[in-house]
Amino acid sequence: MIKPTNPESYALITWTDSLQFKACFLSFAAQVKGFVGGCRPIIRIDGAHLSGYYKGVMLTAVAIDGNKEIFVLAYEIVDTESIDSWTYFFRNLRSLFAQYESQKEDWTFISDRMRGVESALFEVFPRATRRICCQHLYSNCKAAGWSGATFHKMFWIAANAYNEYVFEKAMSKIKDFDAAAYDYLKNVEEQWSVHMLDRTVCCDHNTTNFVESFNAITKANRDMPVLTLLEAGGGEFEVRDGHVKFPVTLGNIACGCGKWQGSEIPCKHGLKVIYNQRLDPRDFVSPFYKGLLTNSLMETTSTP
């Protein structure tokens, strides 16, 4: 449905040999056009677990626009987070860019050290640059036993250093604090300190806060079945009635058939959406009717 209703969008669904759902990848035309045409060449990637009956993982690619605001590029639903699922994700990203005649291969990706990301990324984008989220890097340090106010301060001075002098000075203090911590950080192959970052990318971010903010927004819907999850958003729905499709908007209490707006009682299309979303129809009825319905109910219950 996405392809005929949103021309030039990229949508792919994959099935197993036994015709069971395996994965899907989606990016609407406006998303990729906006990214290729106006966003900096850095992509934040992350995975968020689905909490519904069938479980699964939602992989997301998020960029930032010129106003430093979240710009969602693409998302994918897979059964589990693995090398195969991330490879599927990156291959679709590559095909997505090729569809819009973007020959760029040296994209910058930033993420935490998720399972399967590194090998999958460089298999599909061998010229890519990878940044590591400093917040996750610091969490790894804490897990290894390097923590406390002193280490915390030195770590973030090194992470946010805009020049090599400040970075090396902070690292020297970390070495005096704990040589093992110094060796660990020195051996991190990904970019993590600001002074290491490619200036041509024009982005000094060294955390994945943007994509995690997007994941936080979707948390309330991640217990839904896959189809419902992908359709959720903004209270806008589409209901088929025979050969006609009617747009229904819960927030505005409106349906394309016009009946709901005219009577302020949900039409049959609105009711389908209300019940589908497990909501109470009485919340979408005009207060005038609620008074009449209450009086009518009282009269019925008082009748012998």
Q: What is the rounded distance in angstroms from the CA atom of residue 138 to the CA atom of residue 141?
A: 5
Same domain, 20 and 94: yes
Same domain, 292 and 188: no
Same domain, residue pair 75 and 91: yes
Residues 30, 97: one domain?
yes
- Looking at the structure of the chain, the number of domains it has is 3
Q: What domain range is 161 assigned to?
A: 134-196
Which amino acid belongs to residue 105? E
The helix/strand/coil state of 238 is strand
Assess whether 59 and 100 both reside in one domain.
yes
Distance, in Å, from the CA atom of 169 to the CA atom of 174, rounded to the nearest integer, reads 9
Q: Establish if 201 belongs to a structural domain.
A: no
Look up tokens 């217990």; give the residue: 223
User: Over the stretch 30-45, which tens digit does the pLDDT of each residue have?
Assistant: 999 999 888 999 999 9
Residue 20 lies in a domain: yes
Q: Are 220 and 182 members of one domain?
A: no
pLDDT, tens only, 178-217: 999 999 999 999 999 999 999 999 999 999 888 888 888 8
Distances (CA, A) of 95 to 63, 101, 109, 239, 258: 18, 10, 17, 32, 41
CA angle 270, 275, 277 (to 5 degrees): 95
Q: What is the pLDDT of residues 265-303, one digit of tens each?
A: 999 999 999 998 889 999 999 888 876 544 544 454 444
Instruction: Quote the tokens at residue 122.
Output: 């460089």
275 domain residue, yes or no: yes
User: Is position 202 within any domain?
Assistant: no
Regarding whether 125 and 24 lie in a shared domain, the answer is yes
